[in-house]
Structure 1
């Protein structure tokens, strides 16, 4: 199967989706998805990510704006004319058909003869590691294997764009990790354009070339996993992409691109990110806090939890509570103990003081 040559970019140009008279599900979004990339739409329930995916598929029609796949304007085209395939959360396998028949099903409508249909279906099963499973029924497979059959059924159609709607939500944690790695490997090996919807931040970080964080029917931030994790645009993104402590601070001075901040009596320098003097927020990952530092914020341990590979701490400070982790499990800190908490040189990020609407 030569899927790579068909992979196409996807473009949203001022797209809005309104249900009824005034329910705005997607609000004037602009989005460019490169051919051959895996882009994840990530956000809480009701943010518009699934509606966006369904508009690519043609299962929902845009109320305003235009959607392009490759060099075609597909805004008004039905799903059958868009050259996309979708892997659903429920897998949507036919229980009375064998694995081979399920994978072959869509090919039967594509003009292939029986011999080529069977060859393509066999190749699809081989791609997802299910060679030799063709005669089994879906009920004889594990959840992870059923998911792979659904992926194979989509792959054999050689779509320009492959869509995944919460594909791992029905699997247990260990299997989710395994199947997401398999999906990512297939996508990279075949150079597929994939748009992937999830509400799971770790899943998004693990599989994506780029993540589109959505909030309130719009786009909060677009970036690579590392960009979003290390440099969130605002408090919502900082909190949603991984865990973050949000600490109030004051920017006392800005020199060039470097800001000097104060938290209580602690002074620290870091990139200003375009902010000026005055109140701000500091987003710090639990792993970027240094417990027992020579200089830092004075805090007290209020909870200490051993979780095997690390210690987890809740600490009380003048501005409130924060959460920190430490790999030092041999000499843990005790509840009630005072500790100086410093900041890593890389990791803490300045954010505007004003919280954007959620």
Structure 2
């Protein structure tokens, strides 16, 4: 863990065998165990319908667990309503009152929490300063950009000084440039204040950029938990490899294992990499697009089916007996032409062996 100072209000969150069933047989979350450490930003990541938003809503008390226990700090909150949990939530929509000023919007929750008007005003002004909106207090939401409106929503949640701050797809309404800026703002605020944050997104790049830890979810269960780098470099299975950072999945044969290293073969081309406990036999190789090398003297024969210039790099679709892969190259000055036959190999580091299972 970094040297970030943890807020005295920040609390851990723990799920113990938690399930959520809608109706008689729709399982939204299936018996998950999860521990979010105090002062950490943990992202729930996965495709639509995987259970990530339901998990977030159970922390907030907007959905009640069907079984299991949910603890915030040392307190069992499983059956407590949302109003009795010390959490704040930032939603996908900013949910700002258009007729209220920025300051009034940020003060709104404080007034309901029983703060005197002057204290609420001072807290709200401090909150606006924390999110970089000092001097914006008299403006209306319509006078702000999308990114500024989202920061007002963050300030409104922060001023309540919750034990846990929750984000539900907070950047989905912003354009690409603003998404990058606001996610950096959220991460900086979380680290500066030492907050416990649980963050939901389906965007892999967003999750990699903001998280201390990522919980990858699939089919109402947890597929893998790890740091961004651990998930990117060492996925457990095909789903995680493909979902985190777009991996090419190529069938291969492990021809030998010596200690912790395996030698694989694809069409007479051999490559050595960590065995990850797998024995000789059929396996799957996960290779990131940037770890595919093209144009060398050795490798697997491939044909360039597509070549796309995207400014800072070239993107290629390569086809061969192994199937089809997506590769990227920094060389934009002398790109390969469509129809070119070349040799495709792999970088020394990066490719990962996975069990040969769906």
TM-score greater than 0.5 by the shorter chain = yes
CA deviation profile, 1:144-173 (whole Å, cap 9, x unmatched): 111011000000000000000000000111
Q: Aligned to 1:107, which of 102, 107, 110?
A: 110
Shift of 1:95: 1.6
1:232 has 2:272 as partner: no
Q: Aligned to 1:337, which of 315, 333, 340?
A: 340
Bigger mean CA offset, 310-319 vs 213-222:
310-319
Aligned residue in 2 for 1:289: 292
| 8 Å Cα contact 1:294-1:342 kept in structure 2 | no
Shift of 1:3: 8.1
2: CA distance between counterparts of 1:186 and 1:200? 20
2: CA distance between counterparts of 1:281 and 1:20? 39
Shift of 1:302: 1.6
2: CA distance between counterparts of 1:3 and 1:124? 18
Q: Aligned to 1:35, which of 35, 38, 51?
A: 38
Q: Write the mapping of 1:1-358 to structure 2, written as runs, cut at 5 A.
A: 4-355=7-358
Shift of 1:335: 1.8
Two-structure CA RMSD over aligned residues (Å): 1.1
> Between Structure 1 and Structure 2, how many residues are aligned?
354
2: CA distance between counterparts of 1:136 and 1:306? 43
| 8 Å Cα contact 2:6-2:38 kept in structure 1 | no
2: CA distance between counterparts of 1:217 and 1:262? 36
CA deviation profile, 1:25-77 (whole Å, cap 9, x unmatched): 00000001010000000000000000000000000000010001011111011
Shift of 1:109: 2.4
CA deviation profile, 1:72-111 (whole Å, cap 9, x unmatched): 1110111111100000111111122111111011111223
CA deviation profile, 1:220-242 (whole Å, cap 9, x unmatched): 11111111111111111111111
2: CA distance between counterparts of 1:223 and 1:294? 37
Q: What TM-score comes out, normalization by structure 1 length?
A: 0.97
1: CA distance between counterparts of 2:335 and 2:215? 39
| 8 Å Cα contact 2:6-2:39 kept in structure 1 | no
| 8 Å Cα contact 1:252-1:277 kept in structure 2 | yes
Bigger mean CA offset, 324-333 vs 46-55:
324-333
Structure 2 vs 1, CA of residues 3 and 328 (structure 1 numbering), >3 Å: closer, same or farther? closer
Q: Mind listing any 5+ residue stretches in structure 2 that lack a counterpart?
A: none
| 8 Å Cα contact 1:251-1:260 kept in structure 2 | yes
1: CA distance between counterparts of 2:325 and 2:63? 43
Deviating beyond 3 angstroms after TM superposition, the runs of 4 or more aligned structure 1 residues are: none
Structure 2 vs 1, CA of residues 212 and 16 (structure 1 numbering), >3 Å: closer, same or farther? same
| 8 Å Cα contact 1:47-1:217 kept in structure 2 | yes
CA deviation profile, 1:165-218 (whole Å, cap 9, x unmatched): 000000111111110000000000000000000001111111011100000000
1: CA distance between counterparts of 2:171 and 2:106? 19
